[in-house]
Amino acid sequence: MKPSPSISAFFPAYNDAGTIASMVITVYKTLEELTDDFEVIVVENGSTDYTVEVLEELALHYPRLRLLTHRQPLGYGGALRVGFASATRDLIFYTDGDAQYDPRELKLLLPAMRDDVDIVNGWKIDRSDPLHRIIIGRVYNRLVKTLFGLRLKDVDCDFRLIRRSVFEVIDLESDSGTICLEFVKKTEDAGFRYAEVPVHHYHRAYGKSQFFNFPRLWRTGIQLLQLWWKLNLRRVHMRQIARRRAALETHTPHRTPPQPIEEQVS
């Protein structure tokens, strides 16, 4: 009989007071169906609404909920980095706290996490956003896949299940939304194996996107160019990956290194 999975689920949350409670409760109940070994983490990221009050009330009723509050905003990338570093279980699931994805669809990701897979990535069946956001999203996805030579179908789908051991090899640095691109580029370059699973995407019911405004898009463009220079031309991360792999091999001499991406699940 296959052992029960060990899962950390986390949400970055910024001004998600209207949605975060349903997200936490839903993922909590989903994890109770899947395993006895889990934790739920919320990285609260300097919210100015009543997100903190909602989470503090939830923590009184859900003993496996860990609340990490930061009164100064970390940025989206900073919040993800805190979540990855704070997770203690073998598998890490994350999605955003704005309820545009359904945490119950973690049940779709878990079967795809076979022994030869390191990361299960969702891809949006249909994006439920205003037309201008759909267009910008498609242009962005195609642009970064071309610029960075990526093979993943949906680079910017924040619905992922990841082996925690991945972070023994790669290190993330971005504080902004470009962290998703950095993650995909570094994991592909490191040879980690992906599976891809279709997931639903829903209309934002509360709050507004922090990404889709022109000043932020301009800053994102600058950050993309900096990341392209760093990851495509300088490629310093490859030396770091090699050093970490060598250190891991020293301690685990029979470890089999990850193989290139070959397979998609649909």
Which CATH number covers residue 120? 3.90.550.10
Burial class (CB in 10 A: 0-12, 13-18, 19+), 244: middle
**So what's the pLDDT on residue 224?**
87
Residue 236 lies in a domain: yes
Residue count of the chain, please give it. 266
Question: Is position 196 within any domain?
Answer: yes
In a domain, 67, yes or no: yes
Question: Can you list the positions of beta strands (E) in the chain?
Answer: 6-13, 37-45, 65-70, 91-95, 119-124, 159-163, 194-199
Assigned domain for 216 exists: yes
262 lies in some domain = no
DSSP string, 135-158: HHHHHHHHHHHHHHT---S-TT--
**Res 181: pLDDT:** 94
pLDDT reported for residue 136: 73
Look at residue 214 in the predicted model and tell me its pLDDT. 58
User: Which residue segment(s) compose the domain that 198 sits in?
Assistant: 6-251
Q: What is the per-residue pLDDT across 52-65, written as a single tens digit (0 to 9) for each?
A: 999 999 999 999 99
**215 vs 195: CA distance, rounded Å:** 34
Q: Parallel, antiparallel, or unpaired: how do β-strands 6-13 and 37-45 relate?
A: parallel
The predicted pLDDT at position 66 comes to: 97
Q: For residue 234, tell me if it sits in a domain.
A: yes
Phi first, then psi, for residue 89 (nearest 5°) are -95, 170
Q: Check if the beta carbon of residue 174 is closer than 8 Å to that of residue 96.
A: no
| Residue 178 within a domain | yes
Helix (H), strand (E) at residue 104: none
pLDDT the model gives residue 265: 41
Residue range 231-255, pLDDT digits in tens: 988 898 999 999 999 998 887 544 4
Which helix H or strand E contains 200, and what residues bound it? Answer: none
Exposure string of 176-189, with b = 16+ CB inside 10 Å and e = fewer, is bbbbbbbbbbbbbb
Tell me how many degrees the CA angle 217-138-215 measures, rounded to the nearest 5: 5
Number of H helices, E strands in the chain: 8, 7
pLDDT at 262: 40
Total count of domains within the chain: 1
- The pLDDT tens digits along the chain (266 residues) read 667 899 999 999 999 999 999 999 999 999 999 999 999 999 999 999 999 999 999 999 999 999 999 888 899 999 999 999 999 999 999 999 999 999 999 999 999 999 999 999 999 997 766 676 677 777 888 888 998 999 999 998 999 999 999 999 999 999 988 999 999 999 999 999 999 999 999 877 665 655 555 566 667 778 888 999 999 888 989 999 999 999 988 875 444 444 443 434 43
Q: Kindly state whether residue 140 falls inside one of the protein's structural domains.
A: yes
pLDDT for res 169: 97
3-class DSSP state of 131: helix
Q: What is the predicted pLDDT for the residue at 233?
A: 85
